[in-house]
Structure 1
Amino acid sequence: MKVLSFLLLLFFQTAVLAQDNPTGIFRYQTAIGNPQRAGSTHYDAATQTYTLQGGGYNIWFNRDEFRYAYNVVKGDFILTANFQFTGAGTNGHRKIGWMVRESTDAQASHMSAVVHGDGLTVLQWRPLRGAFMRDPQDELFFSKRGPQIIQLERSGKKFIMRVANPGEPLQTVGEKELPELPDSALAGIFICSHDSNVVEEMRAWNVRIVKPVRDNYNAYRGGFIGSRLEVMDVWSGQRKIIHESPGRFEAPNFMPGGKKLLFNAEGSLYTIPVEGGTPEKFVVGDLTELNNDHGISFDGKMLAVSHHRRGLPGGGSTVYVMPLAGGTPTLLTPKTPSYWHGWAPNNKEVLYVAQRDSGVYNIYKMNINGGAEIPLTNNRTGHVDGPEYAPDGKYIYYNANVTGTMQIWRMKPDGSGKEQITFDGYHNWFPHISPDGKWMVFISFPPEIDPADHPFYKRVLLRLMPLTSPGSPRVIAYGYGGQGTINVPSWSPDGRYLAFVSNF
């Protein structure tokens, strides 16, 4: 009889999965626990936003009722999204967030990263099927009405909940091991009204499911994971994935006019419309081993690239320039390794990072019509990288490890007047200046990363900082990436959008 009951339960759960229709990235969506008001799930493809309407008496005691959109995910993962209730609501204990669940059974064990209508923010769980829910470790209160970023990570048997208000770094609000949850589990977003007679509504956007690699993973030996090309409205924070690949691509630039993006993959460059579509190869003469350092001159007429020449020191990376409209690339830097990073506003000079006699990378500039390379830094220790001119030509911004952490600096075009402009515990790389010169975006690696490295597949932040008035950096994107995410200038010509690569 027990075997028959188990088979019936398994059949029922499988039937529920099979009947649910894909919604955005979620393959399944349903009402759990047969609530009186089942609700609905909607997806707006234009904004990649999810709207869930759901009822349910509660997610508590030994059974649950709520609305759920989910996938079956195996192993470790990182779930991140922006969440917001719609309207004032009727019950302060209505709930939204991420849930990892054993099954669609109303009594199933689960781990939930929850925000309540009254701002209560907690990690809560049911350890076994039919068991009563456990009280949370900590109880924090955030904004009642504003959007929040909620992240739930699974690492082995441990679950970690992190939360942030927009613009702030994520902070941990709870950690718990739940060995009873199977390796393959349901993972998705939910809403519960906490009132059987009421349907509440929520929105979720910037929804990302990431399958991270181990911390010491070597992408060059273990292989590359998937890549997403994202375009973000810098001022609203809304992100949109326009292209995905199971392999590696990197470093998007906006083309002149802002209608297409340029990025590199497998040693070549490709263009793609900003709305998405099929990438088209962009021919760069006979160069077929390009890396992720490429960019377009301020006047939109010239392209600079870095290309590997086999058998030369440092992998043989050298800088070439050519007309963006097409032509034969011209070699600028016979010495290797040299990695392009910026154009001068006069469209006649390029900035690059090179390793010369000292064995340390320094910043150089060179006229594209010929002449000697001019050193702008002369470090014997540490590391400098990512030089980029401000549009008015008054400063060159770059990142440097002078004091033990990688920070953003700037200097005058002749290399004088060096000054540090970020001061925190992150390792900050690749400053990119907005077209109007008022803002700077950069990528921040966590403190445990080697300050001289910008590796693949790490939990990173994109941060925005004002340059013409006092202000501190604020977070505009929480991502999984690093190498290739934002190595090159990636603002749209109108200063509204930013393009970058994340991994999954």
Structure 2
Amino acid sequence: MIRTLQSGQQCQVRIASVTGESTLLYSTHRILLEAPNWTLDGRSLILNGDGKLWRLDITSGTLIEIPLGGIPDLNNDHVLAPDGESIFLSANDGHIYRAPLTGGHAQRITPDDGSFHFLHGVSPDGAELAYVGIGGGDFRQPGRLMTIASDGGAPARVNVGEGHCDGPEYSPDGKWLYLNTESFSTEPGHAQLARIRVDGTGFEQLLESKTVDWFPHLSPDGQYASYIRFPSGTQGHPADLPVAVVLVSTGDWKTPLHTWPLFGGQGTLNVNSWSPDSEHFAYVAYPPATQTED
């Protein structure tokens, strides 16, 4: 399903700084944009909206469509390849594709194995993808942490317990997968931040909190991480809630460096949105008609 804005609702693409500032880059009532990636040249953000892929120029604020062929409507799970020239994309048919970042024909990667595949990470060498597999496309079932070669092949499961997991993303050194998981709690939906070595060892909780915490994203230098905090009792990562984007040092996940409250959730911070210099990251807010965010 393609998400749209409610009557009077705004879509705001914002840039946060590790020093605590948050500035508005782009605002629209026309299209619901989601999940920014920052390009390796530092000049643009890549987002999805209306089932399509878009490039947002950092300097001018100009939004242009990236034309793609051979792929169904997109969802908000997309990750840039380390070469900076292509992008991996999840589509609404449940498959993962690769396409040129300038636009063109997309090539499907995942097999017809009866699962839906939701991409979140690519290894630093570009050889492997990490994604969440939903068996049979039955969203009542928990997501499983899976990996697959970036040029296709047989998927492999990484065991992080029986609780639902999401957002698996490689550390900059390629040694760890960072994710959120419900495996540390018996309370439905109580996702917590965790990591596991790529060889399937060393599974550990990074932060124990009363809130529902999703999508940990490490900065390219590995010094910082951003994530999104949902209210206690939230199940899944729904849209249109009072949430917060949180910045921490990877040496101390318990102590936020900065917190940005906003109205959002789904689409706000689904994928890694750090700038190449590790000084900024992007996120999306969706204030309703009755709310204005400066």
For 1:459, the equivalent position in structure 2 comes to 242
2:212 to 406, 427, 436: 427
Seq. identity, % = 31
From the superposition, tell whether residues 495 and 221 of structure 1 become closer, same or farther in structure 2 (CA, over 3 Å). Answer: closer
> TM-score w.r.t. structure 2 length?
0.87
For 2:154, the equivalent position in structure 1 comes to 372
Question: What is the SS of the residue equivalent to 2:267?
Answer: coil
From the superposition, tell whether residues 469 and 456 of structure 1 become closer, same or farther in structure 2 (CA, over 3 Å). Answer: closer
For 1:341, the equivalent position in structure 2 comes to 120
Q: Could you tell me how far 1:235 is from its partner in structure 2?
A: 1.5
For 1:145, the equivalent position in structure 2 comes to none
Q: Distance in 2 between matches of 1:377 and 1:245?
A: 42
For 1:361, the equivalent position in structure 2 comes to 143
Amino acid in the other structure paired with 1:376: V
Query: Residue 391 in 1 paired to residue 172 in 2?
Result: yes
2:74 to 282, 290, 293: 290
What does 1:114-129 align with in structure 2 at a 5 Å threshold?
A: none
From the superposition, tell whether residues 368 and 479 of structure 1 become closer, same or farther in structure 2 (CA, over 3 Å). Answer: same
Query: Residue 253 in 1 paired to residue 18 in 2?
Result: no
For 1:136, the equivalent position in structure 2 comes to none
Q: Could you tell me how far 1:449 is from its partner in structure 2?
A: 1.5
From the superposition, tell whether residues 276 and 230 of structure 1 become closer, same or farther in structure 2 (CA, over 3 Å). Answer: farther
How many residues align? The count is: 276
The one-character-per-residue Cα deviations of 1:27-58 (angstroms, maximum 9, x if unpaired) are xxxxxxxxxxxxxxxxxxxxxxxxxxxxxxxx
Contact (CA 8 Å) 2:3, 2:50: kept in 1 or not? no
For 1:324, the equivalent position in structure 2 comes to 101
Contact (CA 8 Å) 2:145, 2:168: kept in 1 or not? yes
Q: Distance in 1 between matches of 2:245 and 2:180?
A: 15
From the superposition, tell whether residues 370 and 254 of structure 1 become closer, same or farther in structure 2 (CA, over 3 Å). Answer: same
Q: Distance in 1 between matches of 2:35 and 2:226?
A: 14
For 2:20, the equivalent position in structure 1 comes to 236
Contact (CA 8 Å) 1:243, 1:276: kept in 2 or not? no
Q: Distance in 2 between matches of 1:473 and 1:296?
A: 27
Q: Distance in 2 between matches of 1:474 and 1:370?
A: 39
1:306 to 90, 112, 120: 90
- Structure 1 stretches lacking a partner, 5+ long: 1-218, 310-316
Amino acid in the other structure paired with 1:274: I
Q: Distance in 2 between matches of 1:471 and 1:414?
A: 26
The one-character-per-residue Cα deviations of 1:166-224 (angstroms, maximum 9, x if unpaired) are xxxxxxxxxxxxxxxxxxxxxxxxxxxxxxxxxxxxxxxxxxxxxxxxxxxxx979947
Greater RCO structure (CA 8 Å; 6+ sep):
2
Q: Distance in 2 between matches of 1:479 and 1:222?
A: 16
For 1:411, the equivalent position in structure 2 comes to 196
Q: Distance in 1 between matches of 2:104 and 2:48?
A: 18
The one-character-per-residue Cα deviations of 1:461-483 (angstroms, maximum 9, x if unpaired) are 11112223575234431111000
> TM-score w.r.t. structure 1 length?
0.52
For 2:231, the equivalent position in structure 1 comes to 446
Question: What is the SS of the residue equivalent to 1:337?
Answer: strand
- Structure 2 stretches lacking a partner, 5+ long: 288-294
Q: Distance in 2 between matches of 1:485 and 1:395?
A: 24
Q: Distance in 1 between matches of 2:203 and 2:34?
A: 30
Q: Could you tell me how far 1:346 is from its partner in structure 2?
A: 1.1
Amino acid in the other structure paired with 1:486: L
Contact (CA 8 Å) 2:10, 2:27: kept in 1 or not? no
For 1:477, the equivalent position in structure 2 comes to 260
From the superposition, tell whether residues 369 and 286 of structure 1 become closer, same or farther in structure 2 (CA, over 3 Å). Answer: closer
What does 1:30-429 align with in structure 2 at a 5 Å threshold?
A: 223=6, 225-309=9-93, 317-333=94-110, 334-335=112-113, 336-356=115-135, 359-377=141-159, 379-380=161-162, 382-402=163-183, 403=185, 404=187, 405-429=190-214
Q: Distance in 1 between matches of 2:105 and 2:285?
A: 32
